[in-house]
Amino acid sequence: MINIVEEEATILKFYKRFQNHLSTYLNRSVDCWVGYPSGSFEDTVKYSIDLNIWLSTKGHDTKYWNGFGVGQPIENHNNSLNGEINFPISGIYRRVAGAFGIEDKGTILVLHRGKIGGGTKGIGKYFFTDNFRGDFVDAIDGDRESRFCVVGELESKHFPEQVANFIKEIHRVKQLIKYPEKYNFNFLNDYSFVNEHSGVTYPENQGGKTIERTHGIIVNALAEELKALGYKVANDRNRDLFTYSKSRVENLFEIKTNCGTQSLYTALGQLLIYSIPVPNDINLFMVIPTELKREVSLRLSELGIQIIYFNWEDDTPVFKELNKHMKIKNGG
């Protein structure tokens, strides 16, 4: 089970680690104005070219405040915040969305309660959690059990990328309500199975699966490669990634971080089930890190499923022979 950290000294210790891990990447200083719904303030923010996010930090009486933006901040201009990951200085303070959680095995998680706000009408806790594509966990939260979004694993080598993915996910969800027509793929959800909450990670004491904390990094990397080839990409709560043209879905991808039996079962089922509402012919891809036995890959091919393998090079997922499966489109 996961327990939310309440002790002031422990929160401070973890928060210093949080800052230190990010500072390796956030190594460019930019003097600018930071904009929020009710005003703005002058600050020197930290920016990362690799992560493409910036960070502003401020001291408060009750919390450690961390405001993030997406994209390179413009010097001496106003730059709007996209999301915050704040931590209470001590105790359980549910008005502050961020928290540190400790698993039974000692793994330290950075968690978020899901309320993102930000001044956009219609954005709130449930809009975000209903559209959040990452993992959820349940944790002992003082006198109750609460559900949290997983930001990342504090001591993971991928932690800075996990934070960046979370901030970009906040940005993506906010765009859903600002520009609903651009992201309208409701025709894919015209069947009852969508009511199941795919992607939820259940707590260990319920026999749940392992949290795939590099999943978002792989999805984003594949999306960028597909966009470089000229494809329009999107995804939703059920589908990891798909490409489309004029509201016609062409290719559907299911990404797994390992090739365990359960992962293969899940990927196979998701590709087949989530392609049902697509009215046209569609290409199905299973994206996995370990080469399968020839007889397994042949059987999957008979079911209409192609395999894209990836490996890690310098902490970056690299997709083997992607151009063999995906041709360059016009404008790519």
Give residue-wise pLDDT tens across range 131-173.
787 788 999 999 999 999 999 999 999 999 999 999 998 888 8
The Cα–Cα gap between 310 and 219 comes to 11
d(CA 137, CA 104): 13
Q: Which domains does the chain have, with CATH numbers?
A: 1-184 (no CATH), 211-332 (3.40.1350)
H or E element, residue 294: helix 294-302
Q: Strands 39-48, 28-36: parallel, antiparallel or unpaired by DSSP?
A: antiparallel
| Residue in the structure block whose two tokens are 């928060």 | 15
Per the structure block, which two tokens stand in for 67?
A: 């405001």
pLDDT of residue 328: 76
96 three-state secondary structure = coil
Residue reference for tokens 């007889």: 295
Going by C-beta distance under 8 Å and a sequence separation of 6 or more, which residues neighbour residue 6?
90, 91, 92, 142
Q: Which residue has the higher pLDDT, 332 or 122?
A: 122
pLDDT tens digits, 103-136: 988 999 999 998 876 555 656 557 788 778 778 8
SS3 146: strand
pTM tops 0.85, yes or no: no
pLDDT range class, residue 209, cuts 50, 70, 90 = very low
Q: Are 37 and 118 in contact, with CB atoms under 8 Å apart?
A: yes
Cβ atoms of 154 and 110 closer than 8 Å? yes
* Burial class for 167, CB neighbours closer than 10 Å (0-12, 13-18, 19+): buried
Q: Which of 219-223, 237-241, 257-261, 289-293 has the lowest mean pLDDT?
A: 237-241
